[in-house]
């Protein structure tokens, strides 16, 4: 596999292979030297056209733990601000001969375009409301670590489904792993046909949220809203916020971050023992190490087989 643009490319077998490897990378953080030499001498470029804390820092850390060289380019402060196009930016970065380009962009399809313009492997770190495959992988990894196999589990993904690339990728991944997924939110934030398209149930109220084993809250994506999607944040919260009052004691809660406390999720839920949010962040590093390893280790480059030392 050369690129990772969408979770569906992996299928259940691919997801399991990557997450098994992620598990083996988990111990690297607790070593005296927090590194393995797998990608020594290879260059990874992080190219982020949208805000990010978790994704960019965990990709950077993942690359460093695999002993790769990393450069991180953000659109603000780069020549993108001087009008350089995505294509020309990729041509510039490609000249450094990176092994991989990790790209986040506000437009759906951007990562696919980048993969046509570079010789590097491309990893989609979020393209508009379309896909975020590494988030889906780390979400499955977090849940597997906590509850084991996802087969037959009930998972509700709640909130701004419409603008969420996380909802699209994570719902697909949970379904591929055998879970029963329900997409829940106000009708204005549930695009028509999305349940059928993703093989999920739909709910427009939280009346049956008690059916869920896991509740996955989504951030309200203000930056992608064009107005009129919801009457007000206060009204949204009244009906759809994931709060302690709405949950059974044994239900687990996830959120991709960044969290808007008091909007889509109660602060008390974020800070409770049922929250897996910190585990999701921690999983990001080992999972992204495993993705980089999957795409780059042992791959043929310039006709030469690179010698790679496994973890
Ligand atoms: C998500 C994203 O950017 O798609 N964040 C993340 O990667 N952890 C979700 C979000 O911004 O709401």
The pLDDT tens digits along the chain (311 residues) read 999 999 999 999 999 999 999 999 999 988 999 999 999 999 999 999 998 999 999 999 999 999 999 999 998 878 887 888 999 999 999 999 999 999 999 999 999 999 999 999 999 999 999 999 999 999 999 999 999 999 999 999 999 999 999 999 999 999 999 999 999 999 999 999 999 999 999 999 999 999 999 999 999 988 888 777 888 889 999 999 999 999 999 999 999 999 999 999 999 999 999 999 999 999 999 999 999 999 999 544 433 334 433 44
Could you give phi then psi for residue 47, rounded to 5 degrees?
A: -125, 105
Per DSSP, the three-state class of 73 is: strand
**CA 279/CA 63 separation, integer angstroms:** 20
> Where does CATH 3.40.50.1370 sit in the chain?
7-131+284-310, 133-279
Pocket test for ligand 1, best of 7, 126, 162 (most atoms within 8 A of CB): 126
Q: Ligand 1 center to residue 217 CA distance, Å?
A: 12
Q: In the numeric block, which tokens belong to residue 70? A: 């990393």
Q: Ligand 1 center to residue 6 CA distance, Å?
A: 15
Res 298: pLDDT: 59
Q: Ligand 1 center to residue 166 CA distance, Å?
A: 7
Contact status, residue 187 vs residue 149, Cβ threshold 8 Å:
no
Pocket test for ligand 1, best of 132, 263, 282 (most atoms within 8 A of CB): 132
Which CATH number applies to 133-279: 3.40.50.300, 3.40.50.1370, 3.50.50.60, 3.30.70.20? 3.40.50.1370
Query: Ramachandran region of residue 244, left (φ > 0), alpha (ψ -120 to 50) or beta?
Result: alpha
Pocket lined around ligand 1, Cβ cut-off 6 Å: 54-55, 126, 132, 135, 165-166, 219, 221, 256-257
Q: Ligand 1 center to residue 96 CA distance, Å?
A: 28
Contact status, residue 65 vs residue 290, Cβ threshold 8 Å:
no
Domain 7-131+284-310 has CATH 2.60.40.10: no
β-sheet bridge partners, residue 127: 105, 131
**CA 46/CA 64 separation, integer angstroms:** 12
- Counting atoms of ligand 1 from 1, which one is nearest the CA of 257? 8
Q: Ligand 1 center to residue 117 CA distance, Å?
A: 25
**CA 211/CA 209 separation, integer angstroms:** 5
- Counting atoms of ligand 1 from 1, which one is nearest the CA of 284? 8
Res 229: pLDDT: 84
Specify the residue for token string 């602060």: 267
Specify the residue for token string 């919260």: 237
The number of angstroms, rounded, from the C-alpha of 98 to the middle of its chain's C-alpha atoms is: 22
| 8 burial via Cβ count (<10 Å: 0-12, 13-18, 19+) | middle
**CA 188/CA 197 separation, integer angstroms:** 17
Q: Ligand 1 center to residue 257 CA distance, Å?
A: 6
């Amino acid at each position: 596999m050369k690129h990772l643009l969408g979770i569906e490319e992996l299928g259940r077998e691919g997801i399991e292979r990557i997450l098994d490897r992620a598990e083996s990378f988990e111990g690297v953080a607790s070593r005296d030297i927090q590194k393995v030499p797998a990608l020594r001498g290879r260059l990874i470029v992080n190219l982020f056209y949208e805000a990010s804390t978790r994704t960019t820092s965990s990709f950077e850390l993942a690359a460093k733990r695999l002993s790769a060289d990393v450069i991180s380019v953000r659109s603000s402060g780069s020549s993108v601000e001087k009008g350089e196009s995505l294509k020309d930016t990729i041509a510039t970065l490609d000249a450094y001969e990176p092994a991989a380009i990790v790209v986040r962009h506000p437009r759906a399809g951007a990562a696919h375009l980048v993969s046509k313009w570079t010789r590097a492997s491309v990893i989609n770190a979020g393209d508009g409301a379309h896909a975020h495959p590494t988030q889906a992988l780390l979400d499955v990894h977090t849940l597997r670590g906590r509850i084991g196999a996802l087969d037959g589990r009930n998972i509700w993904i709640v909130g701004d489904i419409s603008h969420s690339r996380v909802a699209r990728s994570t719902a697909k991944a949970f379904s591929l792993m055998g879970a029963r997924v329900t997409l829940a939110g106000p009708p204005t934030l549930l695009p028509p046909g999305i349940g059928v398209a993703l093989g999920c149930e739909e709910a427009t109220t939280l009346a049956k949220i008690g059916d869920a084993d896991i509740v996955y809250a989504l951030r309200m994506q203000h930056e992608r809203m064009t107005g009129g999607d919801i009457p007000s944040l206060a009204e949204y919260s009244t009906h759809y916020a994931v709060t302690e009052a709405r949950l059974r004691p044994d239900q687990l809660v996830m959120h991709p971050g960044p969290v808007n406390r008091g909007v889509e999720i109660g602060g008390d839920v974020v800070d409770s023992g049922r929250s897996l949010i910190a585990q999701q962040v921690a999983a990001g590093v080992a999972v992204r190490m495993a993705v980089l390893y999957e795409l780059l280790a042992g791959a043929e480059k310039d006709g030469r087989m690179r010698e790679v030392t496994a973890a």
